[in-house]
Structure 1
Amino acid sequence: METLAESHRETNTSAAAPAQTASQADARHVLHPWADLSGLGEQTSLIISQAKGVRVRDSAGKTYLDAIGGMWCMTLGYGREELAEAMADQARRMAYYTPFGDLSSEPAARLAERLSQLAPGDLNRVHFTTCGSTAVESAIRIAHYHFAAQGKPAKRHVLSRINAYHGGTYLTQSLSGKDADRTLFQYEADFVHHLSSPGHDPDRSNVSAAEKLQTLLEEMETEILRIGADNIACFIAEPILASGGVLTPPEGYQKATFEMCRKHDILYISDEVVTGFGRLGHFFASEARFGIQPDMIITAKGLTSGYQPLGAVMISDRITDALAKAAPKDKPVFSNGFTYSGHPVACAVALANIEIMEQEDICGHVRDVGPYFIERLRELRDNPIVYTVRGDHLMACVECWTGQDAGPNAANMALAQKVDAYCQDAGLLVRPYENLCIMSPPLIIDRTDIDRIVATLSDALAKAQADLAAGNI
């Protein structure tokens, strides 16, 4: 009689298919984040197979200068042996244990201690998550719990902003305010409200920064009065709007909105998933750059330099003390968290990451080369297809246009895609989004590679401009 194992082997053998290339397997089996569904199954993804420093190599052996740092996160560069060893050492010692209740691991405890030392004010309590999205979602839940525990369950509404990006979960996508991301999914509209985009570009604005600031503050005050301060739990804000197009608010905006939140008993959540961990030249930008001490700070991405998935909510003692004091006696459980919250391997990497950043003065390096990066990129404004160049230290954006209407219309997006294609052909990876070329290179980048980025981008812009002039776009 045929055994089950023999039958299984026979079935597998007869069903065996020729081996696929990685690109073919990707096209057939992977549904990518933000995939273009109109080309599903037909896309030819660039398969990145190796990386070192600020460069990556594809499966065909071609090398690219990575001007996007993976996804804002590859801060210390690729191939750092110290981070790989931290991963391996912790995995050998103890790869995982549950973080729930009163169980923990030494890496999680030590990392929470280090983060509290780096953070501003009394942000001494850390709630670990798996990424920036889950950290943002957790922060909103903490705000809701905080007020409900004080007998104020009506304080549940959340203020966010147009062009904000806060993550990919149901709630965080609802908080995000990028129109292009609003598709056929469902979004929370009951308690989430979006204020106007705060970006102010002095090169293109017809109003002064002071006028823009006044308009934004008046709108925020009006919206608070409309909803009712007694109904609003929190305001969530990226210090600089990253994926929305590297949008910088007018000077004084962060502090003024923080003070307005204080006035109305609204918690201020600073989403530093991108701006934190060195990208603006500081571990956290909220206080060092913008003079505020938020109630909560969100961190992820650069926290581990992209080597492991990890997110965290840093919470004020004022908030956690109130949570503990007001928790219901019959059910004092903080029922939020994830299987991989404070994963020991991820926390070990984050600790090593912080140590390297301090030893090599990565933040000081960013403060040194960041202004040079923006200065060089601004030279590209001479090209007629460049609408504007925006940025702050090592986060930047070149906005393309045909010379007609500005913004993400079909013609401008096609032009930006052409620029991106020319960059990729020349061995430079920028992040194409709508009509923008967004850049966030590894923080270890030097002036020589900054010059290469600008030279390659300049050549790509010139070629795309020639295509436009010839009617080929």
Structure 2
Amino acid sequence: MAAARDLTATGTAESSSDDAVELAKRHLIQPWPFAGSVGDEARALIGDGDGIYITDSSGQRLIDGPAGMWCINIGHRREELAKVMYDQAMALSYNTPWYTMNAPSAELAMRIAGHAPGDLNHVFFTTGGSSAVETALRFMQFYNNVRGRPEKKLILSRGGAYHGSTYLSASLNGRPRDRDWMDGADDLVVKLSSPDPFRRPKGMSLAAFADLLVDEFRDTVARVGTERIGAFVGEPVQASGGVIVPPDGYLKRIREICRDNDILYISDEVVTAFGRLGHVLASGDAFGIDPDMITFAKGVTSGYFPLGGVIISERLLEELRRSNHPDAMFGHGLTYTSHPVGCAVALKNLDILEDSVLAHAREIAPYFQAQLKTLEELPLVGEVRGLGLMGCVECVADRESRDPLQLDKNVGKRIDTHCHELGLLVRPLINMCVMSPPLIISREQIDDMVAILREGISRTMDDLRKEGVWQG
């Protein structure tokens, strides 16, 4: 592939890359920075992408292991999506959603509702995942206010969860270090244990672990009071928490407890929707649950345009329409709600997914999981887990203690550095490497990805041994 494209009309790719690095360090604040480098940092510069590959500023071709941020589901450089963006922008680039509407958003809402389980028939569009979760939570608050239950606002969330970066959505997060220096609405959130089978009590069966989690949920509802709990928010698979796949049947049992106690079940499918698990929506098709709301983003446009949304149950809206407060206003909206360009791109993306990509993802997922699983042969690897085209390689000091911090909290970054040199971009999360490639990946490309990851881990083991950090 060609080297990174010029950032100026006359400069070379190399000089343009140097310029971008300097400009970033002088002016650009990166997401999730450390205080010691905030506003003075340049990260790996990506020049272009094609299919499952990206190219960095040096011309190095890399497999896009994380698919951007779980989102480049149909791959980079799809001309069909670029053309739709152009055509829609030339027809209608924007309209205010406060008192007008556009046709692509209405059609997309219908298409998405057609894939939703139960009576989830209505869609509110946002700009991404954080705003989708924030919208669902604000709707829960509005819903209970209108129904005369202003005290029913607490939110149940779990350890290991990641739900966003806006104030209320971030308050639900349960990953290590996410909240160390950040404020949140702690008075509104009740935390539960992570459904991580790898970290279950030693000697406990998966069935017993599921029982433990369900009992904790039921006991928490009884202790806190169903009259105070408004919603439970859960990812079907905890993505940024390390691809945590819950025990079989756990989600269905939690759904039943929520239904029995009038607690809204919000399924956060920002990552798992639009093909990551082989379906447009995973809640019903992969897990057999019918939530009250489903949030989505990322893969809805395959990352080509910022878009997200919330699918809401008909029952909830009907209850609002029957209330004694018909003039109560849901005072929530975004300038770019139902953006015509984003919705047009999502419609085309959905066409492509339904045509062949979803079937391909379902067909190739077992091979992806099996090949990743071979990495458990390496002594640094504690567990390889995943579902669909989501995978995580968790490294541990030793498999008996399972304590990652005894090893090296930056071991994931070490592996990523080696893999980058070898031709693979990895998403490092402390002691974990998360893989979620574009859904169009082939068997041969999976083989390449796993071979590079194996070599990257092996080189990291050699480094740790030489440094005396690890003797495995």
Runs of 5+ consecutive residues of structure 1 not aligned to the other structure: 1-17
Match of 2:303 among 306, 314, 338: 306
Q: Which residue of 1 aligns with 2:45?
A: 47
CA distance, structure 1, for counterparts of residue 168 and residue 428 of structure 2: 25
Q: CA deviation at 1:208?
A: 0.8
- Counterpart residue number, 1:391: 386
Larger mean Cα displacement after TM superposition, 261-270 or 174-183? 174-183
Aligned to 2:318: 321
Change (3 A) 1:128 1:384: same
1:174 is matched with which residue? 171
One-letter amino acid of the counterpart of residue 368, structure 2: F
Could you give the per-residue CA deviations for residues 166-197 of structure 1, whole angstroms, max 9, x where no partner exists?
00001011011112111322111112111100
- Residues 195-216 of structure 1 show CA distances to partners (whole Å, capped at 9, x for unaligned) of 1001113999531111101111
1:468 counterpart residue number: 464
Matches within 5 A, 1:306-385: 306-326=303-323, 328-329=325-326, 331-360=327-356, 362-385=357-380
What displacement does 1:226 show? Answer: 1.2
Letter in 2 for 1:252: G
After superposition, the Cα gap between the structure-2 partners of 1:465 and 1:89, relative to the gap in structure 1 and judged at 3 Å, is: same
Aligned to 1:412, the other structure's residue is in SS state coil
Match for residue 68 of structure 1 among 49, 66, 70: 66
Cα distance in 1 for residues equivalent to 2:449 and 2:284: 31
Amino acid of the residue matched to residue 393 of structure 1? G
Residues 1:231 and 2:231 aligned together = no
Please provide the CA RMSD for this pair. Answer: 1.8
SS of equivalent to 1:91: helix
Task: Tell me the matched-pair count.
Answer: 453
- Secondary structure in 2 aligned to 1:269? strand
Q: Which residue of 2 aligns with 1:37?
A: 35
- Aligned-residue offset at 1:20: 6.2
CA distance in 2, matches of 1:39, 1:410: 26
- 2:97 maps to 1:99: yes
Match of 1:452 in 2: 448
Distance 1:196 1:415, change over 3 A: same
Question: Which deviates further from its counterpart, 457-466 or 410-419?
Answer: 410-419
- In the other structure, the counterpart of 1:438 is 434
Relative to structure 2, which stretch is displaced further, 251-260 or 150-159? Answer: 150-159
Report the counterpart of residue 27 of structure 1 in structure 2.
25
**Conserved? CA contact 2:140–2:231, under 8 Å:** yes
Paired residues of 2:364 and 2:443 also in contact (CA < 8 A): yes
For 1:186, what is the secondary structure of its paired residue? coil
- Residue 112, structure 1, aligned to residue 116, structure 2: no
Aligned partners of 1:467, 1:203: CA distance in 2, in Å? 30
Percent of residue pairs identical: 44
Paired with 2:198 and 2:18, the residues of 1 have a C-alpha distance of: 48
Give 1:472 deviation, angstroms.
6.0
2:214 alignment partner in structure 1: 217
**Of 244, 266, 269, the match for 1:272:** 269
Q: In the alignment, does 2:253 pair up with 1:256?
A: yes
The equivalences for 1:74-93 within 5 A come to 74-93=72-91
Q: TM-score, normalised by structure 1?
A: 0.92
For 1:372 and 1:100, locate their aligned partners in 2 and report how far apart those are by CA, in whole Å: 47
Contact 1:27 1:45 in 2 (8 A): no
Alignment check: 8 A CA contact 1:75 1:302 kept:
yes
Aligned AA for 1:57? T
Contact 1:123 1:317 in 2 (8 A): yes
Shift of 1:41: 5.2
Which residue in the other structure is 2:8 paired with?
A: none
One of 409, 412, 422 as aligned partner of 1:413: 409
Contact 1:301–1:310 under 8 Å retained in 2: yes
Q: Structure 2 unaligned runs (5+)?
A: 1-15
| Aligned position for 1:6 | none
- Aligned residue identity for 2:132: A
**Counterpart of 1:397 in 2: which secondary structure?**
strand
Matched letter for residue 77 of structure 2? G
Aligned partner of 2:286 in structure 1 is: 289
Residue deviations 1:382-431, cap 9 Å, x none? 11111111111210111112338534426332332221110011110010
Matched residue SS, 2:124 = strand
